[in-house]
Amino acid sequence: MPYELQIDGLPGPTTIHGGLSSGNLASQANAGAPAHPRAAARQCLAKMRQVMALGIPQAFLPPLARPDLELLRSLGFGGTDALVVERCAQDEPQWLRIAASSAFMWTANCATVIPAADAADGSCHLVLANLAAMPHRAGEARSRLAMLTGMFAAVPGAVVHPALPGIPGLGDEGAANHHRAVGPLGACHLLVHGRSIATPAAELPKLYPARQYREASQAVARIGQATAVVHARQTPRAIDAGAFHNDVVMVGCGHQLLLHEHALDSQAGVLAQLGSRCGTLAVREIAEQELSLAQAVRSYLFNSQMLETAHGTVLLAPIESSDGPARSVIDRLLAEGFLARAEFVDLRESMMGGGGPACLRLRVTLSPRELAAVAPGYLLTDERLHKLEQWVDRHYRRQLSLAELRDPLLLEEGRRALEELTQLCGLGSLYRFQGGSA
């Protein structure tokens, strides 16, 4: 019986609302609003606790070291660390916002996973995403590669691959555009893109960028040696409505799939392909009349987590979908038996940046033997969760404005926090300021 390990990201002490993500309506609408780093981290930890209470294994990825001083130094800002931050704040504050971003918390963008059972060579493949479309995320892959390599170093056959080159035509946004469907005939990987290199300009979204390239999805499938793959294109209509990743209009687990009627081009054909590869799937398409694309983006219903538990499928949904049309959809799915239960979670700080429950986690399907070999420092228990909550309370500020990013104390506070975190979880010298590579 395989397990689906949930790996959630933890926001860092420099959590801000920088408005850095074009096409992410929440991110842009809340640009410049005061952020609450302590509340952001506490909310994410509470969500992890909620998942664990369902009997599902849970791990976490530590925050990245921010501000990213290597980035700022590469742009010509010199001097002591404090001077680098001050000079950037004075001359190019936008780059300081980019270097301080805590968007790494949304680990659905971290990688794409092809489990051992689905790979031609019988290995579990994790392919890092290059996140080339957005400057504030394009530098994450190196650090996440170090963390995931450490996490899976002892897992038999697991291979962690570096990201694709961050060049035009190979933009890869990770598992936010990936779904693993499982039916009686086996598993099939649905990889969703927004464009290809050859897509005519007239067929691209009109308002916002299509971040995922088909060529990148094809490369990821090859590297992961996936034996069954379906490629599909996200509709430009969905992208222009604010669905900057496919997981804003589609969610699923196992043999179940929930998606908006305007999620994919040629949607009926795509679902037929999945069915032919997997066998019978339980699919629910939500009509525009029942829940408009605008309402789907506003509520983030499709960015819920669907979790297979011993008592049926549980929908872990953002509290923003607990009323209105989104709640009506949930109630109908409960009445039909498609869902066994729905639980709601308060992720206000994450949602202000455009990230719901599904954005915060990377799913890795593992055998019991593989799960037992995952590095224990990253796995969560009730005791470790409690220690992490106390750690957050000691080190994270209650509130942080964009202007406060230039505070020289903030850099030192962050380093002290991460130093203690590595000791708390037994992660060794993980970060570059400790001599590590993350």
CB 360 within 8 A of CB 106: yes
Distance CA 229, CA 236 (A): 22
Return all residues near 384 (Cβ < 8 A) that are at least 6 apart.
425
Distance CA 389, CA 45 (A): 7
Residue positions counted in the chain: 438
Q: What is the pLDDT of residue 22?
A: 87
What's the alpha-carbon Rg for the chain, to the nearest Å?
20
Q: How many CA atoms lie within 13 A of 310 on its CB side?
A: 5
Question: Model confidence over 136-154: pLDDT tens digits?
Answer: 999 999 999 999 999 999 9
- Return the percent helix, strand and coil in the chain, to nearest 5: 40, 20, 40
- Supply 282's token pair: 């339980």
383 is catalytic: no
Reduced 3-state DSSP string for 213-234 = EHHHHHHHHHHCCECCEEEEEE
CB 211 within 8 A of CB 200: no
DSSP annotation of 79 reads S
Sign of CA dihedral 348, 247, 4, 160: negative
What rounded mean pLDDT belongs to the chain? 97
CB 166 within 8 A of CB 130: yes
Sheet of strand 186-193: strand arrangement: 178-183, 186-193, 229-233
Distance CA 75, CA 95 (A): 9
Q: What is the pLDDT of residue 1?
A: 78
Kindly name the residue from 178, 189, 193, 245 that is annotated as catalytic. Answer: 245
Distance CA 70, CA 88 (A): 13
179 is catalytic: no
88 is catalytic: no
- Cα 242 to Cα 17, 220, 267: the distances in Å are 17, 25, 19
Kindly name the residue from 110, 124, 359, 425 that is annotated as catalytic. Answer: 359
Neighbour count for residue 47 (Cβ, 10 Å):
24
Q: What is the pLDDT of residue 9?
A: 97
Which residues in the chain show pLDDT less than 50? none
Sheet of strand 125-128: strand arrangement: 111-114, 125-128, 159-161
DSSP annotation of 287 reads P
Distance CA 316, CA 6 (A): 13
Q: What is the pLDDT of residue 374?
A: 98
Q: What are phi and psi of 355, to 5 degrees?
A: -130, 120
Return all residues near 361 (Cβ < 8 A) that are at least 6 apart.
6, 7, 8, 9, 107, 108, 305
Q: How many CA atoms lie within 13 A of 153 on its CB side?
A: 11
Q: What is the pLDDT of residue 239?
A: 98
DSSP annotation of 379 reads B
Q: From start to end of 184-290, where are the E strands?
A: 186-193, 229-233, 250-253, 256-260, 282-286
DSSP annotation of 11 reads -
Kindly name the residue from 140, 173, 308, 320 that is annotated as catalytic. Answer: 173
Q: What is the pLDDT of residue 300?
A: 98
- 3-state SS assignment for residue 65: coil
- Cα 6 to Cα 10, 135, 337, 348: the distances in Å are 13, 27, 24, 20
Q: What is the pLDDT of residue 35?
A: 96
Distance CA 15, CA 103 (A): 8
Q: Which structural domains are found in the chain, ordered by start? A: 3-66+101-434 (3.75.10.20)
